């Protein structure tokens, strides 16, 4: 795999400026804010990024992803591939254990992957479909014995693929690849992953008590403690991590103050907030992993017709939009800058993988309205975060539509937490939305629009079939991307970043391009 270097601003090095202010110590506790609620921590059914982030602390897959996007040893101490990269042999650490002290074996990975693919699980297998026999098994048409996942012995796992994929080891860091003890799972009788009492873990952290996962609204949090049975390549420094879910309700201070006061140790921030945090002595990290643009909801009665949705894209003046963020980098398409193909940026210079403005598009409105049995263009409301920059961009949408489409359109400003919940529930017509990659593969972006994705941005059997038929080469990625473009669901405008800030008194917290946050080396003054 080519060196997957994401443009990461490791401004966390600013913490070194405080080297004379006292030493950093292990055995500290840390706090992180989750942007979504977590209803299950079953790795095989994980459905949102918040759950996957907690799972990455509780579980360890065959591999982990480092800050450069490279696959590094997890439970697998080493691995090798055959000549055409269709078969991978993983050699597991012999000292790998579950949190109850029982040995972790290759069969636990076989069972976990089989569970994730089983129709009875109701999971979203995604790139697990690369595995030989996975598609037919997931469709209920094949037998588990035909899956290309074999425990050769207790410490050797072989995974055979339908097609060549040299980057496959990196995929095994994903939640659906995590191990699962069959005996323990069956003993839970349907409660597995639903509370701290029903989860057996193998990662650097585990649950310290039955009360570590609080689910009461307004007080929701998950606290994980350093595992005594974890034997990874690095000793875990942090004593515990608390993931806050209802931060907006639990604290009244702003984000930067929360960091500098020590209420929270790591947060995702806007660019403006990140600048404030840096000036206040916080460490700041930025991932080039996002694209911001106009999101239309095809599940809305007003926007169910693709041709109608296309008018909202074709009547936009791109230069007017770009002018609202003068220093912004223009998005070439839905793929953020971190997405690579064969070690190079996914988009070639000059690529325009978005809907072009059509000054004559509005001429077709009368015919379309008759076809849809409408008297006028439906008036839609655009949801956005309540900040001046977002409002300026949305007002540019409204001005263009009010001029070209012959109706009045509206803006609705909401808090960041309300925005997240509205998108997650599908309670919007349109939104200024930031799409995050979740990794460095084109597939990481494309799968965001699967019918089973959370949040559900698109329901299209044709698009779902295109993803199922991916051959994981550039041509198949581009074909799926073009099909998505023709759905007129997301109009990319700006390349964006995800900013992470750590409190001034911490160091050693790292963020990988798949948005996993590691507290293994975290220390505090």
Q: Is 240 exposed, middle or buried (0-12, 13-18, 19+ CB in 10 A)?
A: middle
Residues linked to residue 489 through DSSP beta bridges, in sequence order: none
pLDDT at 142: 83
Q: Which of 506, 295, 500 is nearest to 390 (CA)?
A: 295
pLDDT of residue 356: 96
Which domains, ranges and CATH numbers included, belong to the chain? 11-244+503-524 (3.40.190.10), 288-497 (3.10.105.10)
Considering only CA atoms, which of 431, 385, 381, 386 is closest in space to residue 411?
381
**Which three-class secondary structure state does DSSP give residue 295?**
strand
Inter-residue contact 199 to 192 (CB < 8 Å): yes
Q: What angle do CA 439, 139, 122 make, to 5 degrees?
A: 65
pTM value is: 0.80
3-state SS assignment for residue 222: strand
Nearest to 58 by CA among 151, 193, 185: 193
With residue 500 as reference, give the H or E element that holds it: strand 490-502
DSSP 290: E
CA distances from residue 425 to 45, 297, 418, 428 in whole angstroms, order as listed: 19, 11, 11, 8
- Burial (Cβ within 10 Å: 0-12, 13-18, ≥19) of residue 330: middle
- Whole-number pLDDT of residue 259: 93
What b/e sequence results for 164-194 when a residue is b if at least 16 CB atoms lie within 10 Å of its CB, and e otherwise? bbebbbbbbbbbbbbbbbeebbeebeeebbb
Task: With residue 283 as reference, give the H or E element that holds it.
Answer: strand 283-296
Over residues 221-245, the pLDDT tens digits come to: 999 999 999 999 889 999 999 999 8
Nearest to 204 by CA among 177, 218, 185, 224: 224
Tokens of 267: 């947060």
Nearest to 520 by CA among 179, 296, 279, 234: 234
**Integer Cα distance of 379 and 487 in angstroms:** 20
pLDDT tens sequence across 413-433: 998 878 988 998 999 999 999
Contact 450/464 with Cβ under 8 angstroms?
yes
Separation of first and last alpha carbons in the chain:
38
The secondary structure of the chain in percent helix, strand, coil, rounded to multiples of 5, reads 30, 20, 45
**Helices 461-468 and 474-485 sit at what angle, rounded to 10 degrees?**
170
**Structure-token pair, residue 252:** 């009244």
Structure tokens at 306: 């693709």
Instruction: Count CA within 13 A, CB hemisphere, residue 302.
Output: 17
> Residue 211: is it exposed, middle or buried by C-beta count within 10 angstroms (0-12/13-18/19+)?
exposed
* 3-state class (DSSP) for residue 467: helix
How, if at all, do strands 329-330 and 490-502 pair? antiparallel
DSSP string, 62-119: SEEE-TTS-EEESSEEEEEE-TTSSEEEEEE-TT-B-TTSPBP-HHHHHHHHHHHH-T
The per-residue pLDDT for 470 is 81
Q: Give the model's pLDDT for residue 251.
A: 56
Q: For tokens 């060549």, name the residue.
A: 164
221 backbone dihedrals φ, ψ, rounded to 5°: -160, 160
Number of Cβ atoms within 10 Å of the Cβ of 382: 26
pLDDT in tens, the chain (525 residues): 333 333 333 333 333 333 334 589 999 999 998 878 899 999 999 878 889 999 999 999 999 988 877 889 999 999 999 999 999 999 999 999 999 999 999 999 999 999 999 999 988 677 888 899 998 999 899 889 999 999 999 999 999 998 888 889 988 999 999 999 999 999 999 999 999 999 999 999 999 988 999 988 878 999 999 999 999 988 999 999 999 987 655 555 688 999 999 899 998 888 888 999 999 999 999 999 999 999 999 999 999 999 999 999 999 999 999 999 988 899 999 999 988 887 788 999 999 999 999 999 999 999 999 999 999 999 999 999 998 989 999 999 999 999 999 888 999 999 887 898 899 899 999 999 999 987 788 988 998 999 888 789 999 999 998 987 887 788 989 999 999 999 999 999 999 999 999 999 999 999 988 888 999 999 999
């Amino acid at each position: 795999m080519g060196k997957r270097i994401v443009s990461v601003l490791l401004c966390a090095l600013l913490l070194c400026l405080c080297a004379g202010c006292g030493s950093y110590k292990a055995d500290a506790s840390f706090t992180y804010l989750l942007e979504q609620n977590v209803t299950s921590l079953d790795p095989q059914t994980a459905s949102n990024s918040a759950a996957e982030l907690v799972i990455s602390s509780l579980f360890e897959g065959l591999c982990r992803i480092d800050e450069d996007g490279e696959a590094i040893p997890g439970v697998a101490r080493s691995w090798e591939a055959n000549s055409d990269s269709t078969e991978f042999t993983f050699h597991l650490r012999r000292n790998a254990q579950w949190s109850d002290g029982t040995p972790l074996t290759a069969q636990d990975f076989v069972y976990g992957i089989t569970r994730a693919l089983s129709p009875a699980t109701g999971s979203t297998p995604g790139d697990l479909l690369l595995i030989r026999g996975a598609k037919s098994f997931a469709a209920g048409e094949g037998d588990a014995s035909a899956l290309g996942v074999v425990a050769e012995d207790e410490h050797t796992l072989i995974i055979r693929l339908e097609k060549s994929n040299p980057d496959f080891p990196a995929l095994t860091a994903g939640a659906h690849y995590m191990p699962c003890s069959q005996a323990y799972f069956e003993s839970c009788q349907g409660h597995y992953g639903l509370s701290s009492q029903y989860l057996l873990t193998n990662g650097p952290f585990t649950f310290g008590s039955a009360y570590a996962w609080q689910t009461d609204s307004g007080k929701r949090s998950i606290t994980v403690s350093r595992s005594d049975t974890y034997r990874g390549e690095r000793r875990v420094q942090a004593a515990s991590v608390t993931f806050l879910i209802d931060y907006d309700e639990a604290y009244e201070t702003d984000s930067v103050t929360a960091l500098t006061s020590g209420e929270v140790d790591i947060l995702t921030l806007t660019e403006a907030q990140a600048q404030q945090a840096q000036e206040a002595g916080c460490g700041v990290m930025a991932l080039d992993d996002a694209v911001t643009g106009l999101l239309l909801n095809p599940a809305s009665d007003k926007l169910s017709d693709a041709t109608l949705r296309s008018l909202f894209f074709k009547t936009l003046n791109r230069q007017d939009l770009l002018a609202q963020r003068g220093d912004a980098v223009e998005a070439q398409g839905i793929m953020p800058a971190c997405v690579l193909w064969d070690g190079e940026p996914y988009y070639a210079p000059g690529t325009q993988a978005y809907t072009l403005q059509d000054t004559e598009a509005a001429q077709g409105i009368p015919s379309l309205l008759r076809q849809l049995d409408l008297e006028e263009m439906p008036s839609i409301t655009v949801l956005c975060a309540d900040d001046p920059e977002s409002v300026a961009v949305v007002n540019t949408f409204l001005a263009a539509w009010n001029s070209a489409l012959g109706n009045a359109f509206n803006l609705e400003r909401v808090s960041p937490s309300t925005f997240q919940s509205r998108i997650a529930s599908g309670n919007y017509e349109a939104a200024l939305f930031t799409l995050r990659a979740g990794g460095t593969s084109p597939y990481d972006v494309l799968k965001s629009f699967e019918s089973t994705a959370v949040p559900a941005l698109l329901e299209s059997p044709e698009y779902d079939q295109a993803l199922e038929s991916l051959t994981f080469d550039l041509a198949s990625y581009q074909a799926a991307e073009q099909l998505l473009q023709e759905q007129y669901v997301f109009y990319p405008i700006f390349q964006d970043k995800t900013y992470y800030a750590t409190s001034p008194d911490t160091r050693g917290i790292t963020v990988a391009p798949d948005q996993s946050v590691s507290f293994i080396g975290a220390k505090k003054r």
